[in-house]
Amino acid sequence: MNKLRSSSAGIYLHFPFCESKCPYCDFYSTLIDDNVSTKFMDAVIAESNKEADSDFGSFIYDTIYFGGGTPSLMNPDEINRLLENLQANFNIEKNAEITIECNPSFLTEKKMKGYLKSGINRISLGVQSFNEANLKTLGRLHTPDEAVKTYRIMRDSGFKNVSIDLIYGIPHQTIAEWESDLKTAIELGPDHISAYNLVIESGTEFGRLYSQNRLNLPSDEEQLQMYDSLNEHLNNAGYRGYEISNFSLPGFECLHNLKYWTGKPYLGFGPSAVSFDGKVRRKNRADIESYLKSAEKNIEVPSETEIIDRESALRESIMSGLRLTAGVSLERLKDRFDYDLREDKRNTIDSLLTEGMITIEDGFLKLADKALFISDSVMVKLI
C-alpha cells in the first residue's frame, strides 16, 4: 500500500440495479438480474484490488457510501464481502461513517440487523412521499404504511443514524400534501432529512412528458412556498439546514456528501461512479456490460477523465461553497487560488447585497434565505 496521506477521503459504490425504473430518475441503473448482480460483486472487488495499488491507496477513508440504483437489494453477506475487501485494500478508519441507501420495500428486521452487523451504521431511506397518489406518480413501489413500518424496523434493529429522503414539486402535488409529508417525517424523528425539489431531467420519462407539455407541475410560486414551508417546519423541529437540500439534527450531517461539497477526494466503484483525487476527476462508463468485461479480462474499467485546472477548481469551490449554509470562505479562496472574490466581483456583490440575496459574515459569503430557492441564478453571477 502507498504511503498514507493526511487528507481523508470517501468511498462510493454504485449498485446499478433496480426492480423498476422511476420516471424522474436519471442515475444509471438497469433491472435486477441475480446472475448479473453476482458477477457485479466480483467486478467491484476486481476494481478495488486494482485501485489499492493506485494513488487512491494512499488515502485514509472515513466514509463509505452504497448508492444506486437500489443497493438495499444486496443481502448482508454481499455487503459484508464488499466491506471486508475494502478494509483489506484501503486504510478505513475504525469509526467510519458507512451509509446504505434503502428503499422501503421488502426490508426485514433480519436484513437490517445483518447490515448493522456487517458495519453499516447509517441508513438513507428513500421515502420520497407519504402520499399514496404521489408515490404512484413517482413510480415508487412502496406504500406510505410500508415506509413508516420500514423506518420503525430500522430503529428497532438498532440503527441510530437514519436519514429520510423526500421530494417536492411532484406533478399534481399540493402544498397541503407537502406539509403533511413534512409533518409525518418530523413525527417519525429521523436524524437527517434530505428534501429535494423535483428536477426534470432529459432522457427520463418525466423529461419526455415535460417536452410534450404533459406534466402538470406545481407552479413556481407553489414550489417556492413548498421550499419556505420546508425550512420553517424543519427549523421549528430542531433540524439545521447545512446545505440547500439537507437538514440534520446537531451532529448528524452526512459526512460523505460533505466531501463533494467541500472538494475532498473520493473513490468510486461501479458503472457511472466518479472518482476525484484532488486534481483529476474520472467517471466510469455507465454500462454494466463493459464494466463486467473489464473484470473478466483483467483490464482497466472504461472511463473518461477530466483534469481540474485552476479555473475549474475555483469555479467549483465557489458554487459548492454557496450550496452550504456556512457559505464560501473568502480567505480560503485567497489562500488556495490567490483570488479575491470580493474585489473581482465587487459590483455584482454590492448589487446582490443591496437586493438582500447574499450576506457576508465573518469572512464567509453566503446566500440569504430568500435566494436559496433560486440559488443557481445567483451562483452564476458570482463565477
Whether residue 261 contacts residue 5, with contact meaning beta carbons closer than 8 Å, is answered with: no
348 lies in some domain: yes
What range does the domain containing 246 cover?
8-261
* Helix/strand/coil for 64: strand
In a shared domain, residues 237 and 317? no
40 lies in some domain: yes
Burial class, 229, CB count within 10 angstroms (exposed 0-12 / middle 13-18 / buried 19+): middle
pLDDT at residue 34, rounded to an integer? 87
119 lies in some domain: yes
In a shared domain, residues 145 and 12? yes
Torsion of CA 233, 234, 240, 245, to 10 degrees: -110
In a shared domain, residues 244 and 347? no
In a shared domain, residues 314 and 257? no
Q: Average pLDDT by consecutive 10-residue portion of the chain (383 residues)?
A: 68 97 96 93 97 96 97 97 98 97 92 97 98 98 97 97 98 98 98 97 96 96 96 98 97 97 96 97 98 96 97 96 96 96 96 97 95 92 94
287 lies in some domain: no
Per the structure, the count of domains in the chain is: 2
Q: How many residues does the chain have?
A: 383
Q: 3 to each of 59, 90, 174, 183, how far by Cα in Å?
A: 8, 11, 55, 50
14 lies in some domain: yes
pTM beyond 0.85, yes or no: yes
Q: How far apart are CA 93 and CA 305, in angstroms?
A: 28
In a shared domain, residues 46 and 179? yes
pLDDT at residue 106, rounded to an integer? 77
Supply the angle between the helices 144-156 and 109-118 in degrees, to the nearest 10: 50
Domain with residue 132: its CATH number is: 3.20.20.70
pLDDT at residue 1, rounded to an integer? 46
Whether residue 365 contacts residue 328, with contact meaning beta carbons closer than 8 Å, is answered with: yes
Question: What cell does 364 get?
Answer: 464567509
Choosing from 232, 261, 290, the residue where a domain stops is: 261
